[in-house]
Every structure is written in C-alpha cells, then in structure tokens.
Amino acid sequence: MKSKKSPAAGDNQKPSTREALLDATRELMVEENSTQVSFGDISQRSGINQALIRYHFGSKNGLLEALLERDAGSTFAALAELVASDIGAVEKLRRHIHGVIKIYHRFPYLNRLVGVLSADVSSETAHFISDRFARPLADAQRAILDQGIREGVFRSIDPMLFHFSLVGACDYLFHARASLSSVFGVDSISDDLRKAYADHICSILLESVRSHPQSAL
C-alpha cells in the first residue's frame, strides 16, 4: 500500500509529503479522539502548507478516504485469504473477530471515519466506502456463517443482523474512551484488555451462533 503513489508523485519528495499528511491526520484523530480535524491543524502538525493537502488529496474527503485505505485497505486481502482457507468456521469466526478488534485498537477512529464519510447516504463517497469496507466485511461474515451451517456447527442466523451486532460490539470499546476512563477508571487500552474484549465478543457471538443439538426441543 505504501508503494501506491498519488498520480502526481513523480519524485522522491511527494510520496513522503503524502505519508506525512496522513500521519499527521491520524495522530490528531487519535489525540483528539475525534474525526473532526481541520486542514489548519493538519498543516500545523505536519509543517506542510495547506495548499499541498489539496494538491495531494483534492479535498477533505479525499484525504480521509486515503487514510482509511492506508489503515484498513490491506486487511481485506488477509480476510479473503482467511475465508478461502480450509480452517473450520468456528476458528475462522474467532480469527475474524480478533482481527477486526486489532484494527480498531490500532486505528480507533476508523469506524467513526466510515460513518462520517457515509453520512450523506446517497453520496458517491458513501457508496465507495460501503463497497470498499462494509460490503467485504459483510460478505466474509456471511461466507463464514454459511460454512458453519454446512459443517453443522452453526445454527441459521440473519447475516445482516449478525454483521451490525459484530461490528458495533467490536468497535465500541475504542469509541467510548470517555466512559471507559470516567466510569471504569481505565485510561488506556492495553493489549491484554484488547484480547480480553476480543475473547468476550467471540464468546458472545459464538455461543449464540453455535448449534446446540442437545438443547433443541
């Protein structure tokens, strides 16, 4: 992904300007716990003129799409590989959930960014974001659920409802930093907490989707 240059990138300087702008945007979003960062802030943080932000990304949406792509774009190849592998459905779902949570831990603004860029539901940006991010996730989950049914380990479950509950649950620990800190006294999300949360989500979702022939009436 880092080799993906902007169309204008003809020398050695421009790709690093582009990366520096994306780095500054990411840092500000993490520090301010918000997706609302301005060109002015990004320019000040990176020391790069605002005109160059427009030159490299065209618009705020262009910059945010590029950030999403850099952060999460490569994970979909790994997800497709996981889905295509000959691992059992239970283990696939477990790995998928741990993978999603690892991404939200690393880029806690990611899901909010998807939301902000999709706010205007009928816009081209919203369609692009859905096609690029939500659809591959939903498709992968549906494939894993189908596999589990074929293997006889999962009951039939609505893949749409499953998708929203999985993504929402995975994301929210990283979204709700203020309540994590002020209600539960947890100021940063350690790797241990990240793993415990992933195990918790796995247990919730797997327990619910597993077929329990012994308890069927």
By CB under 8 A, name the binding residues for a copy of itself: 32-34, 36, 112, 114-116, 118-121, 126-127, 129-131, 134-135, 138, 157-158, 160-162, 164-173, 175-184, 186, 196-197, 200-201, 203-205, 207-208, 212, 214-215
| Residue 40 neighbours by CB distance under 10 Å | 10
Q: How distant is the alpha carbon of residue 138 from its chain centre?
A: 12
Beta carbon of residue 60, minimum distance to a copy of itself (angstroms, whole number): 12
Contacts of 11 (CB under 8 A, 6+ apart): none
Instruction: Using the minimum distance from each CB to a copy of itself, give the nearer residue, 43 or 130.
Output: 130
Cα-Cα end-to-end distance for the chain: 52
Beta carbon of residue 174, minimum distance to a copy of itself (angstroms, whole number): 9
Name residue 50's amino acid: Q
Instruction: Using the minimum distance from each CB to a copy of itself, give the nearer residue, 57 or 104.
Output: 104
Distance CA 206, CA 24 (A): 38
* Measured CA distances, 197 to 24, 78, 117, 174 (Å): 29, 21, 27, 10
Contacts of 192 (CB under 8 A, 6+ apart): none
Give bridge partners of residue 210 from the DSSP assignment. 154
Which has the closest alpha carbon to 89: 200, 214, 206, 207? 206
Beta carbon of residue 17, minimum distance to a copy of itself (angstroms, whole number): 28
Instruction: Using the minimum distance from each CB to a copy of itself, give the nearer residue, 2 or 212.
Output: 212
Beta carbon of residue 192, minimum distance to a copy of itself (angstroms, whole number): 12
Instruction: Using the minimum distance from each CB to a copy of itself, give the nearer residue, 93 or 167.
Output: 167
Instruction: Using the minimum distance from each CB to a copy of itself, give the nearer residue, 44 or 182.
Output: 182
Beta carbon of residue 203, minimum distance to a copy of itself (angstroms, whole number): 6
Instruction: Using the minimum distance from each CB to a copy of itself, give the nearer residue, 14 or 112.
Output: 112
Instruction: Using the minimum distance from each CB to a copy of itself, give the nearer residue, 131 or 151.
Output: 131
Contacts of 201 (CB under 8 A, 6+ apart): 97, 101, 166, 169, 170
Give bridge partners of residue 206 from the DSSP assignment. none
Beta carbon of residue 37, minimum distance to a copy of itself (angstroms, whole number): 11
Beta carbon of residue 112, minimum distance to a copy of itself (angstroms, whole number): 7
